[in-house]
Structure 1
């Protein structure tokens, strides 16, 4: 008897081997992830991008003037929320007359599609109420303005908080 080894070769087609499939899995996953990223980029709203950035830049001085006007009137406000109802208590240091209606603007920092403008009507001297069009939660940028656009109060609001938002005029921002 001879002690020779015989090499047995099994000639299988490549697609029946596991290593080619293992090596192709990485690039295939990357291609699928690329298509998902492309779909998200096309379908999502770029809420931070604005078309009229030049006009917004020119309006900075006008906005600063409105903040200064609110400071000169000594305006202060407390904004409260209960479900979809919002209430505002507005006071002024001087004997200036408060308007019959106020515009409350709520802007989400990253999703402009959720922004709201609420018309608030006077219930008494310095007391206003309005109704939100949709429930809000999280952080919001708040602006309260008179209908003529002469002054405004601004602040950041954690809408989930039970504490009212205290607004006062900020000059120099």
Structure 2
């Protein structure tokens, strides 16, 4: 008798728990701006092509409070600033944009705003020159990350 009554009661209790969880939690894996993200990706594909044609690569290192980047490529003039987007794989509110300034020795530096270690998509671009390089590494303090056009 307990099995006959217990299984349907357990199914009702489990169903109400799942319904409550579905209604009260945020679906963080779905981007609200998926259409805009897709359009901007195809629009900026020319930026990847330009980086590939100029053979632009970079090596980046992170510390707890700083990001340093060394840029190489066939550029007539290196940009004064670089924009770095650190895109969280699932949560849009954890995305960070950094601005790197060129130093006297030709490298770039900026303030790191993320906790390490962290897995992020890294997009380094130069809005003034119209190119972009990328990587998707596990960012750890002191580790060298290589970025290139994809």
User: Shared fold by TM > 0.5?
Assistant: yes
Out of 66, 82, 85, the position equivalent to 1:102 is: 82
Tell me what 1:7 maps to: none
Contact persistence 1:141–1:156 (CA under 8 A): yes
Gaps of at least 5 residues in structure 2 are: none
Give the count of matched residue pairs.
Answer: 150
Q: 1:44 to 1:88 in 2, by over 3 A?
A: farther
Out of 151, 162, 169, the position equivalent to 2:131 is: 151
Name the CA distance, whole Å, in 1 between partners of 2:47 and 2:103: 25
Contact persistence 1:98–1:125 (CA under 8 A): no
Tell me what 1:35 maps to: 16
Contact persistence 2:123–2:132 (CA under 8 A): yes
Question: Is 1:128 the counterpart of 2:108 in the alignment?
Answer: yes
Contact persistence 2:51–2:149 (CA under 8 A): yes
Q: Which deviates further from its counterpart, 151-160 or 23-32?
A: 23-32
Q: 1:126 to 1:134 in 2, by over 3 A?
A: same
Q: 1:149 to 1:93 in 2, by over 3 A?
A: closer
Tell me what 1:4 maps to: none
Contact persistence 1:75–1:168 (CA under 8 A): yes
- Which of the pair has the greater relative contact order for Cα pairs under 8 Å at 6+ separation? 2
The structure with the largest alpha-carbon Rg is 1
TM-score (normalizing by structure 1): 0.71
Question: Is 1:74 the counterpart of 2:65 in the alignment?
Answer: no
Name the CA distance, whole Å, in 1 between partners of 2:129 and 2:8: 57
Gaps of at least 5 residues in structure 1 are: 1-18
What is the RMSD computed on CA atoms of the aligned residues?
2.5
